[in-house]
């Protein structure tokens, strides 16, 4: 059994666990289930993956790679201004989070891990095997890649005039990302109001998008003030 066959076996286990994690969630999925679904013995899964978290890290890697594709798919289409790219990113980001819920949760979980990782005093709370995992460092990179692609969009927007020029691209992009993450996190809780919900998933999103755009381009200038200015010259 060469390295290639081994990779195939790993992939088999990985895909079985992705299916299970998606259906039942990480906690409810037992290593027994993974083994059964992969048609191998439970012990063997520990031959290919150090432990359950290591397996989850492998899943997370796939998840973050797909999220990165969302970023890449937008920037690779030419002929749009930066603002439009970011608006589409916002939409597709939410779509991703909704459609690939388990994947998105894995991404968020990873961000939580990195938060611990960055705080020396908290790092020891992370399972050492996770840090040793080949996927961990790769994930840090992919995370960073997403940041770079997003920053590129802002830079592009500043260049083409769709975003106000005094903004700092990188900080701005990460603020946008922060908004997306937080929005996703808050979405549910607010929807709860249910009966008299003036503010819920549907009604809130336009407001959110509007605020995001205003923040980036400075609506007052473009929509209200500009006409007045025009009459000046």
Judged by CB under 8 A, does residue 178 bind a second copy?
yes
Judged by CB under 8 A, does residue 229 bind a second copy?
yes
* CA–CA separation, 73 and 69 (whole Å): 6
Judged by CB under 7 A, does residue 41 bind DNA?
yes
Q: What is the DSSP secondary-structure string of 115-144?
A: HHHHSHHHHTTS-HHHHHSHHHHHHHHHHH
Q: Assign 3-class secondary structure to 63-82.
A: HHHHHHHHHHHHHCCCCCCH
* CA–CA separation, 54 and 126 (whole Å): 12
DSSP state, 223?
I
* CA–CA separation, 85 and 103 (whole Å): 23
Judged by CB under 8 A, does residue 195 bind a second copy?
no
The listed partner (a second copy, DNA, none) that binds 31, CB under 5 to 8 Å by sort, is DNA
Least distance between a second copy and beta carbon 101 (Å) = 8
Contact criterion met (CB below 8 Å) for 153 and 90: no
Judged by CB under 7 A, does residue 53 bind DNA?
yes
Among 11, 23, 25, 44, binds DNA (CB under 7 A): 44
Contact criterion met (CB below 8 Å) for 76 and 70: no
Judged by CB under 8 A, does residue 117 bind a second copy?
yes
Judged by CB under 8 A, does residue 172 bind a second copy?
yes
Name the residue nearer to DNA (CB basis): 36 or 68. 36
Judged by CB under 7 A, does residue 46 bind DNA?
yes
Judged by CB under 7 A, does residue 2 bind DNA?
yes
Helix residue ranges, H only, 169-225: 169-191, 201-217, 219
Q: Which of residues 69-88 bind a second copy (CB under 8 A)?
A: none
Judged by CB under 8 A, does residue 174 bind a second copy?
yes
Contact criterion met (CB below 8 Å) for 96 and 106: no
Residues of the shown chain interacting with a second copy in the complex, contacts defined by CB under 8 A = 25, 28, 108, 111-112, 114-119, 125, 140, 143-144, 147, 164, 167-168, 170-172, 174-175, 177-183, 185-193, 198-199, 203-204, 207-208, 211, 214-215, 218-221, 224-225, 228-229, 232
Contact positions toward DNA, by CB under 7 A? 1-2, 6, 9, 29-32, 40-44, 46-47, 50-53
């Amino acid at each position: 059994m060469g390295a290639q066959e081994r990779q195939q076996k790993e992939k088999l286990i990985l895909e079985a666990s992705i299916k299970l994690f998606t259906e039942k969630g990480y906690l409810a999925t037992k290593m027994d289930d993974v083994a059964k679904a992969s048609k191998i013995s439970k012990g063997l899964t520990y031959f290919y993956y150090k432990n359950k978290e290591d397996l989850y890290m492998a899943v997370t890697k796939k998840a973050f790679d797909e999220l990165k594709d969302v970023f890449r798919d937008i920037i690779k289409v030419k002929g749009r201004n930066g603002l439009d790219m970011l608006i589409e990113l916002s939409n597709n980001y939410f779509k991703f989070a909704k459609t690939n819920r388990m994947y998105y949760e894995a991404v968020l979980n990873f961000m939580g891990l990195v938060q611990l990782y960055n705080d020396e005093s908290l790092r020891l709370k992370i399972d050492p095997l996770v840090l040793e995992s080949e996927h961990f460092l790769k994930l840090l990179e992919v995370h960073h890649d997403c940041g770079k692609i997003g920053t590129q969009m802002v830079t592009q927007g500043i260049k083409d005039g769709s975003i106000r020029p005094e903004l700092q691209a990188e900080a701005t992009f990460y603020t946008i990302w922060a908004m997306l993450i937080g929005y996703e996190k808050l979405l549910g809780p607010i929807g709860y109001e249910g009966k008299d919900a003036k503010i819920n998933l549907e009604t809130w999103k336009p407001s959110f998008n509007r605020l995001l755009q205003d923040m980036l381009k400075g609506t007052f200038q473009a929509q209200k003030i500009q006409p007045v200015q025009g009459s000046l010259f």
